[in-house]
């Protein structure tokens, strides 16, 4: 998990930032990216891996360690409106760029999950399945996942019709049933296939959420 970082540290890079995003396949909510810079020579919990392979409890334990032991970390996002304007791929990249440009980040090399990124003044390397092969990318995936999940669970309290407390915005049968019955909210991505043209009415106060 430290192969890429170790090679860069040996080459003199001291602020290697791992970048990853979550929420690309969701029907609603922001796309969230995180950036993590690990102290050269430091190793995090051996359990660090792709956030999707970890339990929620384990992810939250790791968040505390990542924040404590990292030289720098940040979480950024692009809204559903930004996604609709530029498309999900560009919005995902924009969210990661926001991380690299965050004040006091000052990365000297970027390790990016996936196979596409944008031209920047900072050298970078795209790594397919990077969250399985780079500790800093995996750490970023964990921070982004927990942050975004919390957003969707909070939104569920106001909109308990789509199952966001469990599906966190991904397309599920319950999510589509909610869309069919109540329509799309301001948090939905209108450029995605929502299977409805109905707009949610804020006047809805209480409904059967089953």
Any domain includes 207? no
Query: What's the Rg (C-alpha) of the chain?
Result: 18
The answer to the question of residue 193 being in a domain is: no
Q: How many domains does the chain have?
A: 1
Domain hosting 13: range is 3-155
> Looking at the domain assignment, is residue 130 inside a domain?
yes
Residue 184 domain-assigned?
A: no
Can you tell me the mean pLDDT for 6-20?
97
Mean pLDDT (whole number) for 177-202: 94
Residue 154: both structure tokens together: 């909070």
Whether 149 maps to a domain, the answer reads: yes
Mean local confidence (pLDDT), 65-69: 93
- DSSP assignment, residue 118? -
Angle at 141 between CA 139 and CA 144, to 5 degrees: 110
- Average pLDDT, integer, range 166-180: 97
Instruction: State mean pLDDT over 17-23.
Output: 97
41 CB-contact burial (10 Å; exposed 0-12 / middle 13-18 / buried 19+): exposed
What is the reported pTM?
Answer: 0.92
| Calpha distance 119→114 (Å, rounded) | 15
Residue 20, domain member (yes or no)? yes
Note the pLDDT tens digit of each residue in 78-122. 999 999 999 999 999 999 999 999 999 999 999 999 999 988 889
Residue 58: pLDDT band (50, 70, 90) is very high
Distant-in-sequence, close-in-space partners of 45: CB < 8 Å, separation ≥ 6? 61, 62, 65
Q: Calculate what percentage of the chain has a pLDDT beyond 90.
A: 87
Tell me the CATH number at 120. 3.30.420.10
Q: Is residue 194 situated within a structural domain? A: no
Q: Is residue 203 part of a domain?
A: no
């Amino acid at each position: 998990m430290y192969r890429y970082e170790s090679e860069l540290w040996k080459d003199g890079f001291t602020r290697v930032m791992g970048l990853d995003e979550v929420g690309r396949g969701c029907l609603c909510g922001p796309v969230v990216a995180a950036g993590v810079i690990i102290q050269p020579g430091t190793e995090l919990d051996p359990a660090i891996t792709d956030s999707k392979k970890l339990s929620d409890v384990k992810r939250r334990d790791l968040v505390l360690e990542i924040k404590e032991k990292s030289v720098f970390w940040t979480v950024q996002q692009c809204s559903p409106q930004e996604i609709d304007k530029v498309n999900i791929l560009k919005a995902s990249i924009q969210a990661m760029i926001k991380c690299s440009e965050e004040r006091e980040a000052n990365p000297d090399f970027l390790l990016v999950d996936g196979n596409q990124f944008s031209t920047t003044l900072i050298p970078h390397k795209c790594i397919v399945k990077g969250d399985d092969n780079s500790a800093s990318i995996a750490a970023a995936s964990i921070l982004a996942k927990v942050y975004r999940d919390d957003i969707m669970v909070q939104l569920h309290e106001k909109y308990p019709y789509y199952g966001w407390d469990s599906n966190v915005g991904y397309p599920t049968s319950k999510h589509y049933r909610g869309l069919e019955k109540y329509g799309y909210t301001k948090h939905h991505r209108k450029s995605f296939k929502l299977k409805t043209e109905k707009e949610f009415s804020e006047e809805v106060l209480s409904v059967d959420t089953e």
